[in-house]
Amino acid sequence: MSRRIFAPPAASALARLAALTLLSGCATLEQQGVRPPPPSPPIAAPKAIVDTPQQAERKKLIALYGGEYQWPKAQTYLNQVLIRLAKASDTPTQPYRVTILNSAVVNAFALPSGDLFVTRGLLALANDTSEVAAVMAHEIAHVTARHALLRAEKEKTEAVIAQAARVIESRQKGDEVQATAARTIASYSRLQEFEADRIGITVIARAGYDPFGASRFLSSLARSSQMRAELIGQKDSGAPDILATHPSTPERIAASLQVARQFGAPGIGGVARQPYLNAIDGMIFGDDPVDGAIRGRKFIHPRLGFSFEAPEGYMLENSAQAVLGVADGGAEALRFDSVRAPPGKTLKDYLTSGWIDGLVASSIHESDVNGLPAVFADARAGEWNFRVAVIAFNGDLYRLIFAIKAMTPEASRRFDEAIASFRPMTEEEKRLAQPLRLRLAMAGPGDTAATLAAKMVLTDRPIEQFELLNGLDSDQVKPGEDYKIVAY
């Protein structure tokens, strides 16, 4: 069973996109990694090599997060740190290995087998060895404490109880029991997270690393989540989610600081900042252009050869299944994906074939987008209105869906302009399709956060992003030290 350990809270608007777009025939994020059944082997076929459950889970996780990212110097360095941590853990003979995932999402996982996974996004956010050691020690703690197995057993027990209640008493009673079980399991998992933090901090302290690295990384994680929410205009309600499987980040920071203080004051352990920065220098930052890249409001896909631009105010997020976007705190949303063009069907036939509900028949019309055949329509469902476009390009159908509660003339104009931006890539866009990379810049005597941020290619709040990327609370740049920037 995989675990989402250091993931920041997902934006609720993005989580609702599947419901907003009503794509009844389209793959959703929850379906990632699900494989169709294999064809039957021919007679006398050689015996197939069947993956163990642990191998299958490992492969599924890797596929879900864009595959393995090959960066040998970081891989070697992380495994050296992992060996040191394992020796300091309560199970020093347990083998561990770390895999870097090709994803910009900030996340880490552990499997009971001792397989650890960290994403490129997490490595970019961490600022020294003690911080990334805290993440990996947290994962080791989940393995040594058998959290995945204990949680699975508890979920199994609660499911049996709920089923029995439905049969013996009533469906309503069974639902009540199941709801109570869900709250219990959520609480159980939250306790596991606190326990893993405590064990992990103890392990990094034993290994000679700064025990305050955990709280520093969690602080960066909180800042990253807050900045992301601000960029999409999302307001935090402040209401706790009783089913949240992880404690809130402020809770974890406070608890982590309390544990770390038991080992001494800040500065008690090693941070090994420069070796860590050297290990990640040159890694891809953000999206891998092989699968399409987001540049501000623009999405470009060099392999498929197209680009489009979202309306002003949208924040885009790329996934294996679709490009998702939100604006105005989730009051507007978009989904962009593609399917193979079905043979023998017109665009209008495809649009009305049932993959989207609530089509307004009178709104369907055919035209073109920059010379490419296209069909357009409106749809309605509940309190939401949709603008839908399907564009034919190089044998594929590209589907753009915008969702808003009130389809005003101004909103309709903005959506139509975004749809009209779909086109084959230009030469300038091909240049933009180069991967962004983490680079090291040494601060000079007169450098500030602003002067170093000016060297980055990021356009949204570059100074704040520079400070976040380097764990700086204010302009704390020190001459002669290296800092992470984002450049080509």
Q: What b/e string do you get for 82-111 counting C-beta neighbours within 10 Å, with b at 16 or more?
A: bebbbebbeeeeeebebbbbbbbbbbbbbb
**pLDDT of 42 higher than 50:** no
Report the mean per-residue pLDDT for the chain.
80
Which residues of the chain form CATH 3.40.1000.10? 295-431
Query: Can you tell me whether residue 190 is helix, strand or coil?
Result: helix
- pLDDT at position 132, please? 98
End-to-end CA distance of the chain: 37
Q: Give the global pTM.
A: 0.72
Nearest to 303 by CA among 324, 315, 287: 287
Please determine, for residue 412, whether its predicted confidence score (pLDDT) is greater than 80: yes
Q: What is the pLDDT of residues 276-332, one digit of tens each?
A: 999 999 999 988 888 888 888 999 998 899 999 999 989 898 877 889 998 888 889
| Between 362 and 32, residue with greater pLDDT | 362
Report CA Rg, the chain: 25
From the number of C-beta atoms within 10 Å of its C-beta (0-12, 13-18, 19+), residue 344 rates as exposed
pLDDT over 80 (residue 34): no
Non-local (6+) Cβ contacts of 191 within 8 A are none
Under CATH, which architecture does the 295-431 domain have?
A: 3-Layer(aba) Sandwich (3.40)
Contact 64, 109 (CB under 8 A): no
Secondary structure (3-state) at 210: coil
Least confident of 203-212, 231-240, 316-325: 231-240
Distances (CA, A) of 107 to 10, 13, 119, 176, 280: 12, 20, 6, 33, 16
pLDDT of 166:
42
- Dihedral sign for Cα 66, 67, 71, 73, please: positive
| Range picked from 93-102, 185-194, 385-394 for highest mean pLDDT | 385-394
Helices and strands, number each (H, E), in the chain: 16, 17
**How large is the average pLDDT for residues 214-231?**
88
Q: What is residue 233's predicted lDDT score, i.e. its pLDDT?
A: 61
- Looking at beta carbons, which pairs linking 471-479 to residues 24 or more positions away fall under 8 Å? 471/127, 471/131, 471/216, 471/219, 471/220, 475/448, 475/449, 475/450, 476/449, 477/443, 477/447, 477/448, 477/449, 477/452, 478/443, 479/443, 479/444, 479/445, 479/447
Q: Where in the chain is the domain with CATH 3.10.350?
A: 435-487
Burial class (CB in 10 A: 0-12, 13-18, 19+), 397: buried
Does the pLDDT value for residue 152 go beyond 70?
A: no
Confidence at residue 411, expressed as pLDDT on a 0 to 100 scale: 95
Q: Specify the CATH architecture of the domain 435-487.
A: Roll (3.10)
Give backbone dihedrals phi and psi of 384, rounded to 5 degrees, phi first. -105, 145
Residue type at 444 in one-letter notation: G
